[in-house]
Structure 1
Amino acid sequence: MHDFTEFLRQLIDPVWIHEHGGLYLVALIIFAETGLFVGFFLPGDSLLFVTGMLIAQHQAPFLSDPANLFYWIILISVCGIIGNFVGYWFGRKSGPLLFERRDTLLFKRRHIEQAKEFYEKKGGTAIILARFLPIVRTFAPIVAGVVAMDRKKFLFYNVVGSIAWVGSMILAGYLLGEVAWVKNNLEKIIIALILVTTAPVLLKMIFGGKKKKETTV
């Protein structure tokens, strides 16, 4: 457990990132978090913020800041887009099996049908907003695939969501990274960022669960 915690801590350490693959490692991690089941625990938001700081501090691969900023935002956004497509593909492949399953104590087919109806009505908004929510951004494209969300619609919102998420987080780190107070309080800022992005998920789980119990009663 200690080794795992230490690994997560290193993922938001600019020096460690720079020494272990640099921003190409970040691109790989963003792909894993947005497309693979095992990536749900990765700290995407804080990692992108640190990425912005690194871009502001290092002239690579180009000699001008604007070119570097544009290059990394596009590259990492593409990795996020591909990651979501992997999740969507997995959902499409496993979806038919779920629809054919019989109801069990833990699995109810009506939940899948409700999710399908939701994605048909508000799926685009869900795909975009999910990018800004830890854990949710890993599973949202999988669910979209399971309920067979229209491919073209998914493609559009997948691209918009990835660029909006990656671009905003990297720009925040890029613009604030040179501020002395930010450098001296990076860990506090990262914790605050994690809390802000995780809070909506936790509140939904807590209060959403209570409402369901009240309705049942």
Structure 2
Amino acid sequence: MNLENIMAAIENYGYWIILLTLFCGIVGIPSPEETFLVLIGMLTAQDHLQLVWTVISAFSGSLSGMLIAYIAGRFLGLPFLNKYGRFLKITPELWEKASTQFRRYGTLTILFGLFIPGVRQLAPYIAGTSRYPFTVYIFFSIIGSALWAISYIFVGFFIGDQIPLHYLPWIGVVALVVFIGTVFIKNKSLKGGSRA
């Protein structure tokens, strides 16, 4: 697939791809969220996506992921996570550590947890299982989702017009390699920690 076809796909389905990628990242399905946000910010700077719709799609994907994860935690609870948590890389040790932090810094975790990989996936489930007040949760989730999406998109937007378009696929490849390497290192450290 050449660059023109890739750009055509992004221009035609870009907003749905943005929403789905960020939704998956929040509920625990691995995706390179920060790198992806920077990349779509670069595409908006080069007029392949509209900035307003890009931000709305990213915000919607993040917020809907936080909402679904909260609902799953609240109504399906710990039995669900004990049964299926391994598919989301949620170990009992990780859950206990994250729960302790959430009890101590609940509001801050919801507000700024999106900026921390791992925390952004666990915090909504923990909020749901701990019966964190929904109105407070959704209020801070809205603010946190907006801050997270806008900050990374604008990083990409401000560097995007300084990088020639033909370099974008290579940036995507580098981002993918970094993402895979990060997942590999995290998995290795989790396995090492569980053996200790």
TM-score (norm 2): 0.68
Does 2:19 match 1:30? Answer: no
| Distance in 2, Cα, partners of 1:135 & 1:17 | 30
Distance verdict in 2 for CA 1:74–1:164, change over 3 Å: same
1:121: how far off? 2.8
Counterpart in 1 of 2:144? 161
Which residue in the other structure is 1:42 paired with? 31
Partner of 1:58: 47
Contact 2:98 2:122 in 1 (8 A): no
Displacement of 1:120 in angstroms is: 3.4
Deviates more, 1:115-124 or 1:84-93: 115-124
The structure with more radius of gyration: 1
**Higher helix residue share:** 2
Q: Percent sequence identity over matched residues?
A: 24
**Separation in 2, partners of 1:182, 1:130:** 32
- Corresponding residue SS for 1:131: helix
Q: 2: distance between equivalents of 1:189 and 1:141?
A: 29
Which of 73, 80, 83 does residue 55 from structure 2 map onto?
Answer: 73
The number of residue pairs the alignment matches comes to: 187
Q: Is the 8 A contact 2:24 2:30 kept in 1?
A: no
Contact 1:41/1:135 (8 A) holds in 2: no
Q: Root-mean-square deviation (CA), in Å?
A: 4.2
C-alpha separation in 2, matches of 1:132 and 1:194: 20
- Which segments of 5 or more consecutive residues in structure 1 lack a partner in the other structure? 1-12, 61-67, 99-107
Q: Deviations over 1:105-159 (max 9, x none)?
A: xxx9998777555423301222233312334422321122122222122112211
User: Which structure 2 residues correspond to residues 1-217 of structure 1 after superposition, within 5 A?
Assistant: 15=7, 17-18=9-10, 21-35=13-27, 39-58=28-47, 68-95=50-77, 97=79, 116=99, 118-180=101-163, 184=167, 187=170, 191=174, 206=189
Kindly tell me: are residues 71 and 79 of structure 1, through their superposed partners in 2, closer, same or farther at Cα, counting changes over 3 Å? same
Q: CA deviation at 1:80?
A: 0.9
